[in-house]
Amino acid sequence: MNDEIWKAYTHGIAAAIAEGGVHVPSLLLQSYSSLGLSDSEAMLLLQIMLYAESDRNDFPTPEELAGRMGIQVRLIGTMLGRLMKEGFLSIDDYVDEATGLQAERYNWSGWFMKAAEWRAAEKRQTKRTERQPAGGVKKPALPNAAISDLFSVFEQEFGRLLSPFECDLLSKWLDEDKYTEEIIVFALKEAVFAGKLSLKYIDRILLEWSRNRVTNVEEAKAHAGKFYGGKA
């Protein structure tokens, strides 16, 4: 690379940095296709983010977005409609502090939430694959559980998907703390009985049992009264 090309290159880099930019979490780029977004829809969301962060424009018009992306305004309208319908994008009402007037701004937190849920699902699948015995033979069903997969047992009881942190904690109980699936499921039942449905509370139960050398459900039943008023 000769001096002139190098100067042009460094000048271009400096100019690009001076223009500012938008931080894009890698998770958004990794997941957008799996979430059903087209390249154009993902780019539209990024342009909306860029307008807010670099141009201080929280609510760019379809015309502004179309001009920047080089496509027809009606296509922008169609994509915005689908993004809002699918929960990737929403519009918030707020009062502008400078003018005191009611205003609107785009909110793309739905995209972040969907990306996080996608990552959590990927982690669950990875953990399930790692724990699957060689040869594809399924593990025996959990005692007193309608389904054999521990993650699904918790998701069914919680009524929602587990977060990445919760998936990691369940895996830690199994892989590092060496709690049995039977004991973990029973601790979940104790938390439900106590009306404290959280992994933090279940972790406390398991830790208490471990400190008292509780290794099976029968021993856990004898010790469980400590967690709900001393009742057996």
Q: What's the average pLDDT block by block, 10 residues per block, for the chain (232 residues)?
A: 57 50 86 93 96 92 96 94 95 89 94 90 72 49 45 84 80 86 90 87 91 86 61 43
Distance, in Å, from the CA atom of 88 to the CA atom of 56, rounded to the nearest integer, reads 21
* Pair 86, 168 in one domain: no
* Pair 138, 82 in one domain: no
* Pair 12, 81 in one domain: yes
Reduced to 3 states (helix: H, G, I; strand: E, B; else coil), residue 44 is helix
* Pair 138, 210 in one domain: yes
Is there a domain that residue 119 lies in? no
Question: How many structural domains is the chain composed of?
Answer: 2
For 155-222, give the DSSP string: HHHHTSPPPHHHHHHHHHHHHTS---HHHHHHHHHHHHHHT---HHHHHHHHHHHHHTT--SHHHHHH
* Pair 30, 83 in one domain: yes
What is the model's pLDDT at position 91?
Answer: 95
CATH value at residue 55: 1.10.10.10
CATH value at residue 217: 1.10.10.630
What is the model's pLDDT at position 150?
Answer: 81
**Among 107, 159, 99, 149, residue whose Cα is nearest residue 127:** 149
What is the model's pLDDT at position 203?
Answer: 92
Whether the CB-CB separation of 107 and 92 falls below 8 Å is answered with: yes
Whether the CB-CB separation of 87 and 114 falls below 8 Å is answered with: yes
118 by Cβ neighbours in 10 Å (0-12 / 13-18 / 19+) ranks as middle
Burial state string for 153-184 with b = 16 or more CB within 10 A and e = fewer than 16? bbbeeeeeebeeebbebbbebeeeeebebbbb
Is there a domain that residue 27 lies in? yes
Distance, in Å, from the CA atom of 228 to the CA atom of 34, rounded to the nearest integer, reads 44
Instruction: Write out the residue range of the structural domain in which residue 38 sits.
Output: 3-112
Distances (CA, A) of 61 to 69, 127, 204: 12, 44, 52
Domain boundary among 78, 112, 146: 112
pTM above 0.75, yes or no: no
* Pair 54, 140 in one domain: no
